[in-house]
Amino acid sequence: MTTFEGGFTAVYNPRQILDHPEFRVLQPGEKPSSSANIAAFYNPAHEIHLVEKPRPKPGPGQVLVHVRATGICGSDVHFWKHGAIGPMIVTDECGSGHESAGEILEVGEGVTQWKVGDRVAMENGVPCSQPSCDACRIGRYNGCPNVVFFSTPPFHGTLTRWHLHPAQWLHRLPDNVSFEEGSLCEPLAVALAGIERSGLRLGDPIVICGAGPIGLVSLLGARAAGAEPIVITDLFQSRLDFAKKLVPGVRTVLISRNLSPKEQAEVIKQTAEVPLKVALECTGVESSIHTSIYSMEFGAKVFIIGVGKSEQNFPFMHLSANEIDVSFQYRYANQYPKAIRLISGGLIDVKPLVTHRFKLEEAVSAFHVAADPTQGAIKVQILD
Ligand SMILES: NC(=O)c1ccc[n+]([C@@H]2O[C@H](COP(=O)([O-])OP(=O)(O)OC[C@H]3O[C@@H](n4cnc5c(N)ncnc54)[C@H](O)[C@@H]3O)[C@@H](O)[C@H]2O)c1
Ligand SMILES: OC[C@H](O)C(O)[C@@H](O)CO
Ligand SMILES: [Zn+2]
Ligand SMILES: [Zn+2]
């Protein structure tokens, strides 16, 4: 039982908010009609294609959102290309996209907090919200065992024109925050959750490993949080150049495949010039995690946001003898309001992360650009 704002209560099963199950795959070259509810789906045959679906009707406690901006996440590409992330396996057609913002088109029964035309960022991991669920009850709802995460199989994503959403999992966008910025609140929420739980404090010297979208939003967040100095690493100079443009004061280290993690850590330490208190690890790659661990001072924290191989080795004795804590982040909880405030207040500027823009009808091309490293994409946005 969930109480919606305004006192309306409903038995609330997030699985019932699944988008309309009917869809038709468009043939290659077939033009979708301009009034259709189109979406980009991936499937177990590693195809990505447009589909047409009916326009859904909001039920009690739901709203219909016209999705205006969606960013492509590495996990969308991964589900398409590799068919699984850990235990989440693509067994059927599945809608992509979970970094979205839009405009409310219709409100369902009992929805009092939203009206048609309101601009919102969509929080796309919808937990069960049942009092019997410990994770939900204590506010660590990213750990809800019954979470519906749109775009993670079997739940269709928000890369679509019209999407049904539970009213209480939307966040109002102030006038000075665009739909694109609203959609970028999703990767930013990942970084903010990690930074919050890493215990990072004003003036802390840190290293960020990996300068992909997650490393870069972590860089923006860490800079806003007052970390200094900040060292960022990557295997590619182009990504480090991007980081330097984004935050000119950042120090960069190009990772060499010829150096061991210990040797690499020495380069990071020399670049930092002061002992490092925190690592925000944003690759999930074993060698990079080792490098981050060897870069740390006694009592430091290695905070792992990246995800990678199911089983990995750890430099156990180095961790133990240096009391280095290792922690992990899984998605986020309670970060959207903060992300929106930081963007609206001008403390974090996510706009430069968008390198490519496509129309919804061009979503398949957008995926090909996002998946091709030679295109130099950081964040590909799909706008409608
Ligand atoms: N914890 C979560 O909830 C969560 C949420 C979103 C993404 N992620 C994960 O975060 C990670 C980063 O996401 P992204 O979108 O930025 O991915 P990405 O692949 O675009 O970026 C990763 C970057 O790390 C660099 N890299 C790879 N190996 C490296 C090494 N040994 N040393 C230094 N840099 C190295 C790559 O060149 C790349 O620029 C991924 O593992 C992703 O799955 C986690
Ligand atoms: O941004 C959130 C992440 O992409 C998701 O956790 C994804 O990796 C799996 O659902
Ligand atoms: Zn994501
Ligand atoms: Zn729950």
The CATH number linked to 210 is 3.40.50.720
Are residues 199 and 174 part of one domain? no
Q: Would you call the peptide bond into 315 cis, given omega within 30 degrees of 0 as the criterion?
A: no
C-alpha dist (Å) from residue 141 to 102, 111, 154, 337: 23, 22, 19, 15
Q: With respect to residue 342, please indicate whether it lies within any of the assigned structural domains.
A: no
Interface predicted TM-score (ipTM) over 0.90: yes
Q: What is the CATH number of the domain that holds 145?
A: 3.90.180.10
Question: The whole model's pTM is what?
Answer: 0.95
- In order along its 384 residues, the chain shows pLDDT tens digits of 344 333 333 333 444 444 456 889 998 889 888 788 999 999 999 999 999 988 989 999 999 999 999 999 999 999 999 999 988 999 999 999 999 999 999 999 999 999 999 999 999 999 999 999 999 999 999 999 999 999 999 889 999 999 999 999 999 999 999 999 999 999 999 999 999 999 999 999 999 999 999 999 999 999 999 999 999 999 999 999 999 999 999 999 999 999 999 999 999 999 999 999 999 999 999 999 999 999 999 999 999 999 999 999 999 999 999 999 999 999 999 999 999 999 999 999 999 999 999 999 999 999 999 999 999 999 999 999
* Token representation of residue 353: 């992360």
* Rounded CA Rg of the chain: 21
First-to-last alpha carbon distance for the chain, in angstroms, is 35
Nearest residue (by CA) to ligand 1, atom 27, is 283
* Phi and psi torsions of 138, nearest 5°: -90, 5
**Residue 96 and residue 212 in one domain:** no
Compute the distance from residue 157 Cα to the ligand 3 centre, in Å. 11
C-alpha 86: how far from chain center:
17
Residue at 345 is within a domain: no
Residues 180 and 197 in one domain: no
Q: Cβ(154) to ligand 2 under 6 A?
A: no
* Size (the chain), residues: 384
Alpha helix (H) residue ranges in 313-362 = 316-321, 336-344
- Atom 6 of ligand 2, residue of closest alpha carbon: 331
Element (H, E) at 359: strand 354-359
User: What is the domain range of residue 282?
Assistant: 193-328
> Distance between CA atoms of 61 and 7, rounded to whole angstroms?
11
Instruction: Report the number of distinct structural domains present in the chain.
Output: 2
Domain identity same for 246 and 324: yes
**Among residues 328, 360, 375, which one ends one of the domains?**
328
8 occurs within a structural domain: no
**Is 148 near ligand 2, meaning CB less than 6 Å away?**
no
Are residues 245 and 174 both part of a single domain? Answer: no
Domain annotation covers residue 59: yes
Which residues pair with residue 303 across a beta bridge?
A: 280, 327
Three-class SS of residue 15?
A: helix
